């Protein structure tokens, strides 16, 4: 008897209100139409472009995001520190110093076949950050991944890694390092979706960068006029989040729950045509 494959949506960096609205406008329909068992999102840029607040965390949960990962902006907002300690669904890079608040691994259960929450297959989500061209400096993500995998319960076969890193070579190397040992390695942080989705040997889904769930009319989610003024004059500007061309970027990975092997990976880049620029909630 073969169990049906799990469908897991993983979203690239959600940026500002346009990114959060794209999640709210598009994810519930995707969950229904694509029979999604779990939704994971990198949410390091939700609060005005940097960090996360408890209110925004709750809104994303309500929109259907089951697990949230962070990155170099993990500690930008102090208000979220308590949530790191109380929520099993919010994680920050595991290779931050051990003194940092929060944890780097979440183990949750998918919806059951009948749609009941937290009654299905256990899934581990691991957050890691790169060392190359990244601040703050962190411990080796490779050694950290080895340590975390050794510590996971053997019955948790489905294992997802968000590798938040700048350099493509470091991300590809992480994919190769974890090939056959986890279900998926996906990159975040550069906000530009790459086109190299593939299944690595041993059944590991891989994509160098998921892209950005947010406004695509600017520069990595910020207003183009401000970024250009800064680059043309060398003078600092307020890099406000832009508003046009909101899109949801990520992947849907299909995974055998019995083995944890990925059977497929599909890139997702959807426009949010319902969003009105300047809208508030
Ligand atoms: Fe980001
Ligand atoms: Fe980042």
Q: What is the mean pLDDT of the chain?
A: 96
pTM check: above 0.95: yes
| Active-site residue identified among 73, 164, 189, 191 | 73
Q: How far is the CA of 218 from the centre of ligand 1 (A)?
A: 14
Q: Is the pLDDT of residue 244 over 80?
A: yes
Write down the pLDDT at residue 143.
98
Write down the pLDDT at residue 112.
73
Ligand lying nearest the CA atom of residue 191:
1
Query: Residue 174: helix, strand or coil by DSSP?
Result: helix
Q: How far is the CA of 76 from the centre of ligand 2 (A)?
A: 11
Q: What's the rounded Cα separation, in Å, for the pair 266 and 132?
A: 28
Write down the pLDDT at residue 281.
87
Q: How far is the CA of 59 from the centre of ligand 1 (A)?
A: 19
Q: What's the rounded Cα separation, in Å, for the pair 106 and 94?
A: 10
Cα angle for residues 248, 188, 85 (degrees, 5° grid) = 100
Ligand lying nearest the CA atom of residue 213:
1
| pLDDT over 90, % of the chain | 94
Phi-psi region for residue 189, left (φ > 0), alpha (ψ -120 to 50) or beta? left
Ligand lying nearest the CA atom of residue 220:
1
Write down the pLDDT at residue 1.
52
Q: What is the pLDDT of residues 176-211, one digit of tens each?
A: 999 999 999 999 999 999 999 999 999 999 999 999
Task: Indicate if 73 belongs to the active site.
Answer: yes
Q: How far is the CA of 116 from the centre of ligand 1 (A)?
A: 32
Q: How far is the CA of 115 from the centre of ligand 2 (A)?
A: 33
Between β-strands 67-69 and 38-42, what pairing exists: parallel, antiparallel or unpaired? parallel
Q: What is the pLDDT of residues 127-174, one digit of tens each?
A: 999 999 999 999 999 999 999 999 999 999 999 999 999 999 999 999
> What is the token pair recorded at 239?
């890099």
């Amino acid at each position: 008897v073969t169990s049906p494959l799990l469908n897991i949506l993983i979203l690239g960096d959600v940026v500002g209100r346009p990114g959060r609205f794209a999640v709210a406008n598009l994810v519930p329909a995707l969950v229904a139409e694509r029979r999604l068992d779990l939704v994971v999102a990198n949410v390091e840029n939700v609060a005005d472009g940097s960090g996360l607040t408890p209110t925004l965390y709750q809104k994303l949960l309500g929109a259907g995001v089951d697990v949230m990962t962070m990155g170099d902006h993990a500690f930008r907002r102090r208000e979220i520190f308590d949530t790191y300690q109380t929520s099993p669904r919010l994680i920050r890079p595991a290779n931050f110093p051990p003194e940092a608040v929060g944890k780097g691994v979440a183990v949750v259960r998918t919806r059951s076949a009948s749609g009941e929450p937290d009654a299905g297959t256990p899934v581990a989500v691991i957050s890691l950050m790169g060392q190359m061209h990244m601040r703050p400096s962190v411990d080796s993500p490779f050694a950290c991944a080895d340590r975390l995998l050794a510590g996971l319960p053997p019955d948790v076969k489905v294992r997802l890694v968000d590798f938040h890193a700048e350099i493509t070579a470091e991300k590809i190397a992480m994919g190769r390092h974890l090939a056959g040992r986890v279900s998926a390695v996906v990159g975040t942080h550069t906000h530009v979706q790459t086109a190299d989705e593939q299944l690595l040997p041993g059944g590991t889904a891989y994509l160098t960068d998921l892209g950005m769930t947010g406004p695509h009319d600017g520069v990595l989610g910020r207003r183009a006029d401000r970024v250009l003024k800064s680059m043309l004059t060398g003078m600092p500007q307020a890099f406000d989040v832009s508003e046009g061309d909101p899109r949801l970027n990520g992947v849907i990975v299909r995974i055998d729950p019995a083995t944890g092997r990925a059977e497929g990976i599909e890139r997702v880049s959807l426009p949010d045509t319902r969003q009105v620029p300047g809208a508030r909630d």
